[in-house]
With several copies, the nearest count.
Chain A
Amino acid sequence: MRDAVAALVRDGDTVVIEGFTHLICFAAGHEIIRQRRRDLTLCRLTPDLIYDQMIAAGCARKLVFSWAGNPGAGSLHAFRRAVEKGEPPLELEEYSHFGMVARLSAGAARLPFWTLRDYMGTDLPVANPRIRRVTCPYTGEVLATVPALNPDVTIVHAQRADAQGNAQIWGLLGVQKEAALASERVIVVVEELVDQSVIRADPNRTMIPGLAVDAVVVEPWGAHPSYAQGYYDRDNDFYIGWEATSRDASSLTRYLEEFVFGVRNRAEYVERCGGLERLRASSRVCAGVNYGY
């Protein structure tokens, strides 16, 4: 992870770490914090705890997002301090979920914009003049548009991949495929590195083709406190606890000192957290299907 981030994430980059609740790559976020990247434009539908930590650590210049909360538990207080008090200052560019999905779809399709029927009656286009309109060349209807998002680097966590980065994901798929294919550079982080024969045995599960991947990093528990279907459950206690940790800037700093700067890598993080085995997934293995002919 250290090498991949050192080589592929640069100061000033537009960075996407995607994953909707599922497969959020905290391991990559922590490494970016440790390497003290600066002036990043962080993009995600849900900034979640990982961007709250990166904002608190001073990595972010700007946030592009659609829902900035701690689901079921409260606020992202580093984000709120930045926006409400300018500590540190943070530029915002705000859409709805559909708008962010559409931006990444346009980016992956290498179109300059995406069309959606959305935003009429809302104040979002007032707050964000990048939400515009286009007229249908058939019906004359006026529809909303969002501009393509083409990140410099996208980091995706997957359950497994081969050494070339052909990555398989199951469970919630979010916008990982779109984000990866929209991006200039792609890091795939996996719970398990598998032989290519495992990938080839079930090609419909491959979400990101290796031809789009620049680095593959193996990082078990890399999505904690988020989750990996079939590997470990979400650490809901950690999410609930974040409300207290993040509400106070100094306790958040202490958290970063201990769990990010205070460890050298993910293995040390896992050890420091302790007891993560309690989150280990139960077994609900589905049957295979026949690819014969």
Chain B
Amino acid sequence: MTYSPAEMMATVAARELRDGEVVFVGIGLPNLACNLARATHAPRLVLIYESGAVGAEPERLPVSIGDPSLVTGSLMVCGMADVFQFLLQNGRIEVGFLGGAQIDRFGNINTTVVGSYQHPTVRLPGSGGAAEIAIHARRTIVISRLSRRAFPEAVDFITSPGHRMRGRTRSELGMPGAGPVRVITDKGILEADEDTGELVLASLYPGVTADEVRAAVGWPLRCRGTALGVEPPGEPELRLLREVLDPDGLYLRS
């Protein structure tokens, strides 16, 4: 059964989630990944949105993290002061999903500006809750398509810290969470090296070579000794994604 890169990414992300975990969810692929996980191996996953919905079970595909379908039938809806102080900063979030226009060698993410802050070539949306998710979630998972533009050696602006920021480590800076442990791309999976915090190639999708990945990354990408192959989405996963979770192909078509 053929599948799109987005379907592969959603499936790989779903497999990262363990049953019962508390996940801070974004819209798009992270939302699909969480709902795929809930429908398969992790029925007790708790989804939290920065908008204040906890334990959401949306009856339609939400198009924003403030979608009304995330409220109706959820377990709790609280104000954003509670979300950020009493849930995220409190340490209750086990997994956070992040994405961004630029991701660099050390997992730093830029969603603020391309170019200089004062005179940007492209003004991006900014942090939203990403900076604090990157700091507080016990681990984060990044989802992004590979390209040299998206994976520079160093981001133009650190919106969400990775593993090494201007030479300093997370633990030196006193960050509670473990940071981006996986970067799920459309060609393979990068992981943070435990010693250096540098992103290295950990697994390749079927039919992709390490050189293809290297060519799409702006630094000399190292490869784990044992870069594993990744099981593609199976028929049950694809059926769920296509027929139940995103029947209009809003996020999965490409």
Which of B69, B72, B79 has a CB less than 8 Å from the CB of A177?
Answer: B79
By a CB distance below 8 angstroms, the chain B residues around A209 are 54-55, 75-76, 87
Interface of A (DSSP majority class): loop
**Chain A: interface residue count, which band?**
35 or more
Tell which of A83, A98, A236 touches B132, judged by Cβ atoms closer than 8 Å: A98
Q: In this assembly, does A181 line the interface, its C-beta being within 8 Å of a C-beta of chain B?
A: yes
Contact across chains for B89 and A123 when beta carbons are under 8 A apart: no
- Do the beta carbons of B158 and A121 come within 8 Å of each other? yes
Check A203 for interface membership: any CB of B closer than 8 A.
yes
B71 lies within 8 A of A172 (CB): yes
User: B247 contacts which chain A residues (CB < 8 A)?
Assistant: none
**Per-residue B-contact encoding for A86-102, CB less than 8 Å = 1, 0 else:** 00000000111110011
B53 interface residue per 8 A CB criterion:
yes
* Interchain CA distance A45-B83 in the complex, whole Å: 14
Residue ID in chain B nearest A290 by CB atoms = B72
List residues 147-190 of chain A with CB under 8 A from any CB of chain B: 166, 170-175, 177-178, 181
- The reply on B84 being an interface residue by CB < 8 A is yes
Question: Number of contact residues on B: which range applies?
Answer: 35 or more
When the two chains form their complex, are residues B131 and A96 in contact, meaning their CB atoms are under 8 A apart? yes
Whether B68 lies near A123 (C-beta < 8 A) is no
Q: Is the CB of B128 within 8 A of A96?
A: yes
Closest to B90 in A: A110
What CA separation (Å) do A122 and B84 show in the bound complex?
17
Give the residues in chain A near B188, CB-CB below 8 Å.
none
A21 touches B65 (CB 8 A): yes
A108 at the interface (CB under 8 A from B): yes
Please tell me if the beta carbons of A291 and B91 are within 8 angstroms of each other in the complex.
no
B251 CB → nearest A CB, Å: 10
Q: Which of B159-167, B201-209, B220-228 contacts A (4 or more CB under 8 A)?
A: B159-167
Which one, A63-71, A241-249, A250-258, is touching chain B? A63-71
Q: Is the beta-carbon distance between A96 and B132 smaller than 8 angstroms? A: yes
Q: Is A80 an interface residue (CB 8 A)?
A: yes
A66 touches B128 (CB 8 A): yes
List A residues 169-219 near B (Cβ within 8 Å).
170-175, 177-178, 181, 196, 199-201, 203-204, 206, 209-212
Smallest CB separation, A69 vs chain B (Å)? 3
Interfacial residues, chain B to chain A (CB-CB below 8 A): 22, 27-28, 46, 50-55, 57, 63-69, 71-82, 84-92, 108, 112, 117, 120-132, 134-136, 157-161, 165, 168, 170, 173-176
Task: Give 24 CB contacts A-B under 8 Å.
Answer: A21-B51, A67-B126, A71-B27, A71-B64, A84-B121, A95-B127, A96-B127, A97-B127, A98-B84, A108-B85, A111-B89, A117-B135, A117-B176, A122-B131, A122-B159, A172-B71, A173-B77, A173-B78, A200-B57, A201-B73, A203-B54, A206-B54, A209-B76, A211-B46
